[in-house]
Amino acid sequence: MANSDEHQSGQLSNTQALTLESTTPELQLKALIQVNPDMGFATVAVRGSLTRSNCDALIRMVARTSYLGSDLTISVDLSEAQTVHGDALSRLGNYPTWMVIGQAQR
């Protein structure tokens, strides 16, 4: 992630989950990525505004998350996003490899 800060607060192992926080201040996008390898799932919780201009950054974050485990079920949680623009939501929903939850447009 070229212009972002990442903070790791866990180690990916068989018994522990991995939590990464990624922030792109210039795009007003923040995502908390939680991976639980034992349960086989990952959640990308979006904060801030999801817009057409920063949707590609979120898609890259989610795609990189999928490399952490071949059988991960990935959810993109938009329930705590401040703003979700329709164009960005449509673009995000075009990927069959993850689920979008909490997608009420605001």
Q: CATH no. for residue 72?
A: 3.30.750.24
C-alpha separations of 77 from 15, 81, 93 in Å: 24, 8, 12
In-domain check, residue 51 = yes
Q: Is the pLDDT assigned to residue 11 strictly greater than 60?
A: no
> How many domains, the chain?
1
Which pTM does this prediction carry? 0.74
Side-chain-facing half-sphere of 98: CA atoms under 13 Å: 29
Residues 31-63: tens digit of each pLDDT: 888 888 888 899 999 988 898 888 998 999 898
What pLDDT does residue 59 have?
92
Segment 19-34 shows an average pLDDT of 72
With tokens 């939501």, the residue in question is 89
**Residue range of the domain that includes 64:** 5-101
Residue 13's nearest CA partner among 75, 53, 68 is 68
In-domain check, residue 106 = no
